[in-house]
Structures are given as structure tokens and as C-alpha cells.
Chain A
């Protein structure tokens, strides 16, 4: 850590000497150890050693940023000159700032040293478990990584944070095959701390693999109806990621295109909806401790009981719009669970679809979305009846939040988020030959 502190101090000194009024720097080093499986077979072991220095300068109320992936003086000097040149070419802006000094801190957590042998054993066991329990599943690609990193954030206001952490991650993309019959791919991605983790036993993994095998009986959906979409935890996470970006993020608020721009403190969802950013939740693996602006990271609610509680703004966007800076810049999302089980939620659906992956175009600024419901199942008269392919769903995300049918009691934690299933009414489901069988229902 001392080397990083020295590099940070040198960078700030060099930026000051070059005329900076304010400057902030983040210096980092890391190492990743990675095992790869391709088409069901181990293919590659990869080791990556990295370093970086990212700097921001404010000079004459103008901003410049630069980054370099070496920490020696020569490399930093070049980056400093680039950073100052960028500021000189910039535009005066009173919203520019660097982090204010509050309370400095050092953070250290997780599995700092990779137990390569134990982790390799766990990954081998996962591939063998899948082969034995799910012979029809093909692991298209598996990437198992231990990531270790340390970094220093410092600025000319006296801010000095250090952080050191390490964790394991497994990301698996898979599909089911039976002769020439094959399903769409799906994937799961988990963070954890114990290299001996029984990966197939992580919550939600077997349920996803079970569904993949069931998808071998898929059939194209024909017709069109308006019904209930039940989103899987992973799919709900993707939707909430889009909503937080498009409705509460920097660009949407600076441009004024967010449909929620004037909704702070107002109802934007059903009162059962609470969406939080939870980097400090004990279930989250190595959650964010320092925001990208250089502040101590804290948990906060974006939507609390259906009311918009906070936007997800950087300090610049906050200064620009007169709104508050978000207390965390992490993507660790938690949704408060409901009281009904997933089975009970599905039992209440007359006609709908269980959506386990969404592959769609970028939603419009107002939340209009459409895309393919992948790895999905038709729900009829309270029961899952069959897996479907070539099926599209469309609707509006902002309206959907008001049309909540329910949130499941069970949640899935993948180490980066804690999410339930959620059912929304008013979603259009369509397939081929869409004109022949259309119906409308709430």
C-alpha cells in the first residue's frame, strides 16, 4: 500500500506543480487468477497483473482527466501533462469539484490471498456435478476468477482512503441439448469468499439448471395477449439496472429527460416496492467502500415504499442539478421481499409469462421497452404450462412499477445483489402470427 500512497502523493504534487487548483487521484494494483472452461472442457488458466493511476484536475474552473496503467514517475508525468492539457482545453463549469474531506479510513476485507488449489478443486467439482446431475447441460463457457486489488484515493483537500479486498467469482454460460434440440443460453454469476464453496449448492443455481432442462420442450408462442410478467431475480436485477440508469442517473437528470426528474418524494411505484443500494449488507461480497467520487460509501434507498427517495447522482450531476449526491455509486441492489411464495404468486396469474432472461433493445428514455423473453415459461390458470421460444414482451417500465402484482418472499443473493421474483401486470406478450389469437386481460 505504501507504494500506492507514494504514487498518489507524487501525482498530486505533480498536478499542483503543473497549475492544478484541485486534484484527485486513484492509484491501484491488482492480480486476477482465472480458470476457463469452453464447450464443457477446461481450456485455459490466466493470470493478470494490473496497475493504474487515474487522475482528475480542476484548473481555472475547467476539468481534465487522464489514466495510465503504470505507476512509475515517467508514466505518471506523461499522464499529468495530458490531464493538464485536457483541462486547458476544457470549459469553465462551477459544478466541478473534488471530494470534500470528511473522515479518512482504511478498508480491508475478503479473501486477500488466492487459494488456487482449493478454488480449482471447487470449479472441477462444479463441472463434474453438472455433468452428473444434468447430463443434458452443456457448459458453453465458465470463467472462475479470484480477484485481488488494493487502491488509494487521495486528493488535494486531504482525502486519503485505502482499500484492499479479494473475492472469488464464478460465471457460467450454459444451455441444454438433446440431439439436435437445444435451448437458449442462460447464465449465472456468483461472488463468494470461500474457495471451497459448493458452487452448485448456491441458492438459485439448481433451480436455473432444472429450468434449462425443462426448456428442451420449448415451443414457439403464437398470438398476443396483455398479461402478467413474473421476472426472475436475475431478470429483475437487469430491469432495475436499466431503470436506475435511465430514470435516476447523471445523464438523464442533467439532460432533464428522466420521467422522474420532478418526482423526488413522490410516488413512483406501488407502495410494496422498496429498492435499495446495499454495499454494506453482510450478504454482499466486498461491497463498495469508497464511491467513485472519493467519499465513504453508505447504503441508501432509491425507492422506499413506492416513493422516490434518492437519485443515483455523482457529485458533479448533483452540483449541476441542485439535487443530492448518491451515498453509494455501487450497483449492489436489494429489493425488499414480499410475503407470498413464488408458487403463490404464479397461482394467482390467469395468463402470463415467467421471464428468466430478457434480451431487448435499449429502452426509450420514458421506459418503453420491448425484447425477447428468453428461457421463459407460459403461465396459464395459475400454473406454468410450457417453456416458450420466439416470444417477445413489451411495456413501459415506469408504468410497470405501479402495476405490481406481488414480490416473492424468497430472494436470491448472488453476492452482488439480493433480489426476489416480482410479478407485474399489463405487459404485452407476443409471438409469431400475432393477429390470429389476440386477447386482453389485466
Chain B
């Protein structure tokens, strides 16, 4: 297979790539004691993409084998030729000047399904027997791995594994008025395999206890006073600011579609305290939560610096957009499944830390909110962002007050970032999410606690 693909790409003058891929996943869900999810999947296939004078042809098929690869390559070439014949762009050849090579040395390790079901059931049993005031409880275990082998016409080769594992615990309580409040958290896990992170369920008991305490406070929670408010956004959710508020608007395909970043390059878009980077595989001297070494166009992954000291200095690019903008590609072209073409995607996107202490930041707020947990978010090309807040507290005269019910915060990124006047000195990461943009994509996001003004929903 290896030789066949290399031969098929030999002599192709434009960029082209062939990717074989296997996705494996194991999922266990226990809902209030019921094992409602107990499944596994394997998905194997090949995808090929060819560039022809400004347009692309892509094709994919499940399964493997030389005949399959041959058919996929032929179909991708036909598609590129068809589009070129109907909508020619006559753009110059596209090539990757610096082909990359990377071979993952650690082999894939499968996990026994029983290990996951036993672990989930043990956690569920602990929660059931320990906390009698819950209306419902759920435990979810996810162990997935994406295995990719990439060949490009320029000679890039990459064999990479992207394993990811995590445990989610969800609890709910009934309030005095008969409503139900819910809270969840990701407990442990990361880029790797189940046994790298989990052995004894009891290791998660302290985190579960903290979640229960927070939920009990939320049960007595109040709605925020809707409007623009001074907030301290905890480091646990600062990644959402990095990803949703800024990250998406600086993806080069969205810049070309007219995002707010298009007219702000080299301009002051944030407080001078703000620096933001999409890290490839190493961040702040540590391995990034979801490291990527070579992207799906065969570009060696480097850090993409987006904002430096408040100035917008760059975008996240694929080969084509990097050529358009005259920028160095940093390896942001990523495809989710074998059947997906590479798109401009984030990897490990984070705001850089400052020098403030979280306690001082809270103490500095006379009337505002401290927001600590989020669930989902959405960006807009205008820079207007929102994300859901599932846990937070009032701040009154520098002290934490009542907990909050679920709410949403929003703002316009480059306006909101100019209001940032304090950043904590520690960074937290969220690695368990998927970013949605035509295809899903595992991404991580991080940052320090931020003091800023945002709009908050409420009553």
C-alpha cells in the first residue's frame, strides 16, 4: 500500500495528498444507574485530494486495499478536473516548500471494554451511595483514537496517533421551586490511553465531592442581573475566550470570507496585556494537551502567534491561504475523518498568563460576577461571541456571594479584549471538547483568569 501510494503521487506537480485513517472509539454511559451506552466503533478508510490551478477535488471510500486507493485517487482527480473545467481560477501551482516527516513510535493500545464499564459503574455506585440529595446522576467514559498516515506529492509523510480519554460526571438536584439544576465536569484524562490516567475510581472522589458542593450552591442560585457587567472569567473557562471569541475570527478561511480580523491585521485589537497563540505541540514549556506534529497537508506544525501584546499579528492558515496572505503556514490544515478534506482548524489555542493572583482579581471587583464553568460556545465572523455559563458567583464588594443559575455571556471580541485589565498567573486547559466547523475536531483551549466587561444574560 505504502509503495503504491508513493508511486501514485510521484510526478504530481501540484499539491496532492492521500490519507489512510482508522478511528476507534469506546463509549460507556451510565444514567442514574442504567448502563444506557456500552458501545465501540471502528472506522477505516482512505481519502485523497488533488489541487488543480486554484480548485480542489476530493474523494474517499471506506475500507482499505490497493484497488480502493486507486479508485479514490482517480475520483479525486476527476473532481478537480470537473471543477476546473466549469469554474477555472487559473491560479499558480501550490506546493509545500518544506515537506515534513514524522513517525509516531508508540503503538496504538486498545482498552478492554470491561475496564471502562467497571470504572463507570464504580463511580456511579459511589455517587449513589454518597450523595442522597441528587435528582439524577450520569457517568460517561470516552476512549477514542485517530490513527492517520499521510502522504503528499511533495514528499511529506506522517504517521500519527491521536488518542484521547476522559470521564464526565453529571449531577442534578431539585430546587425548592421544583426546577432541576445540573452541573457537569470533566474529571482527569488527556491525550493518551485509559490506563495512562485512571486506575482506581477513588482517585476521582475529591473532584466529585467538589462538583457536588458547587451543585448544592447552584441549587440556591440566582439569575444574574442582565446587561454589561464587570466579570472575572476563571482560567477553567478562559480557553473559550481564546477559541470562540478570537480564534475563529482569525482562521484564514473565515478571514477571506470577511471576518472582523480581515481589516485589523497589525492593529491594536486588545489590551496590551493580551497575547494569544495557537500552539502546535508544546505550550508554556510543557507538552500541549492535544499535540499535533504534522498537519493533513504535510506541513510541519509550529506555533501560530495570533495576538502579541494586544496587536493582531497573524492568522491560522492552510497552504493556500498562507500563499494568499504571504504568511508562513504553521500546520493548521486538519481533517477529522478519512472522508473529510483538511480545513483551517485550531489545535491548542490559549491566552498567555499575566502576573495577577486570582484572589486579588476577585477582591478588586465591587459589583460583578465570577464565572467558573462553561458548556458550549459559538463565534461569529463579526467577532461577536457567546458561551454558556453553567457555574458562577456574584461578587459583591470584593467577596464571592450567591451562586448563579445557568446563563450566557456575550460580547464583541476585539471590544471585550480591550477591557481586560487583569490576568492571573496560572493557565488551565480544556482538552475534552470538539470544535464544530463542517466537521468536528478535537481541540484544546486554555488561558488564565481574566478580568473584563461582558454582557451577561439573566432576568
Contact = CB atoms under 8 A, between A and B. Distances in A.
B13 interface: no
A176 B257 CA distance: 10
Contacts of A185: 380-382
B384 A49 contact: no
A392 B455 contact: yes
Contacts of A320: 34
Interface in A416-442: 428, 430-435
A372 B455 CA distance: 10
A45 B179 contact: no
A45 B82 contact: yes
Contacts, number: 283
B458 A49 contact: no
Interface string A111-127: 00000000010001000
A203 interface: no
A289 B212 CA distance: 43
Nearest to A186: B380
Nearest to B117: A89
Given A46-B58, A48-B339, A68-B41, A359 B378 contact: yes
B271 interface: no
A143 interface: yes
B257 A430 contact: no
Contacts of B14: none
B36 to A, nearest CB: 7
Interface in B380-420: 380-382, 384, 386-390, 405-408, 410-412
Nearest to A78: B42
Interface in B237-270: 253-254, 256-258, 260, 263
Contacts of A52: 62
A47 B79 contact: yes
A364 interface: yes
Interface string A191-225: 00000000000000000000000000000000010
Contacts of A259: 178-180
Given A392-B408, A392-B457, A184 B382 contact: yes
A257 B182 contact: yes
A350 interface: no
Contacts of B89: 41
A393 B456 CA distance: 10
A216 to B, nearest CB: 11
Nearest to A91: B35
B56 A44 contact: yes
Interface in A349-393: 359-366, 368, 370-372, 374, 389-390, 392-393
A46 B61 contact: no
A64 B116 CA distance: 13
Counting chain B CB atoms within 10 Å of each CB, the highest count among A64, A141, A177, A359 belongs to A359
A7 interface: no
A155 interface: no
Contact of A89 (B45, B113, B257, B406): B113
Contacts of A67: 39-43
A70 B87 CA distance: 35
Contact of A364 (B118, B378, B406): B406
A394 interface: yes
Given A86-B39, A364-B179, A254 B34 contact: yes
B57 A45 contact: yes
B227 interface: yes
B39 A65 contact: yes
Counting chain B CB atoms within 10 Å of each CB, the highest count among A86, A90, A95, A316 belongs to A86
Contact of B387 (A257, A361, A365, A394): A361
Contacts of B223: 368, 394
B372 interface: no
A140 B254 contact: yes
A390 B38 contact: no
Contacts of B412: 390
Counting chain B CB atoms within 10 Å of each CB, the highest count among A50, A79, A372, A390 belongs to A372
Interface residues of A, number: 87
Contact of B121 (A51, A79, A91, A95): A91
B27 to A, nearest CB: 9
A372 B41 contact: no
B226 A224 contact: yes
B236 to A, nearest CB: 16
Contact of A428 (B76, B118, B226): B226
Interface residues of B, number: 87
B258 A42 contact: no
Given A67-B39, A78-B42, A365-B182, A124 B382 contact: no
Interface in B31-69: 31-32, 34-36, 38-45, 55-63
A44 B42 contact: no
Contacts of A63: 35, 38
Contacts of A47: 58-60, 75-76, 79
Contact of B31 (A70, A75, A251): A251
A124 B41 CA distance: 38
B455 A430 contact: yes
A2 interface: no
B175 to A, nearest CB: 8
B80 interface: yes
A6 interface: no
Contacts of A167: none
Contacts of B82: 45
Contact of A365 (B172, B226, B376): B172
A23 B57 CA distance: 41
Contact of A120 (B56, B86, B114, B178): B86
Contact of A359 (B40, B42, B253, B380): B380
Given A140-B258, A255-B136, A259-B179, A66 B39 contact: yes
B215 interface: no
B132 to A, nearest CB: 15
Interface in A255-272: 255-257, 259
B386 A366 contact: no
Contacts of A238: none
B181 interface: yes
Given A93-B34, A185-B381, A224 B57 contact: no
B163 to A, nearest CB: 18
A257 B228 contact: no
A56 to B, nearest CB: 9
Contact of A49 (B61, B382, B386): B61
A394 B409 CA distance: 11
B375 interface: yes
A410 interface: no
Given A49-B62, A138-B257, A430-B455, A182 B382 contact: yes
Interface of A: 35, 38-52, 63-70, 72, 75, 78-79, 82-83, 85-91, 93, 95, 120, 124, 138, 140-141, 143, 175, 177, 180, 182-185, 224, 250-251, 254-257, 259, 316, 320, 359-366, 368, 370-372, 374, 389-390, 392-394, 428, 430-435
Given A72-B63, A431-B227, 8 more contacts: A44-B56, A48-B339, A49-B61, A50-B339, A82-B113, A257-B136, A257-B182, A430-B226
Q: Which A-B residue pairs are the 3 nearest by beta carbons?
A: A361-B388, A434-B227, A370-B457
21 contacts: A38-B257, A39-B258, A46-B60, A49-B59, A64-B39, A85-B113, A141-B438, A175-B258, A184-B380, A184-B382, A224-B226, A254-B31, A256-B135, A359-B380, A360-B388, A361-B390, A362-B388, A364-B180, A368-B405, A372-B386, A392-B410
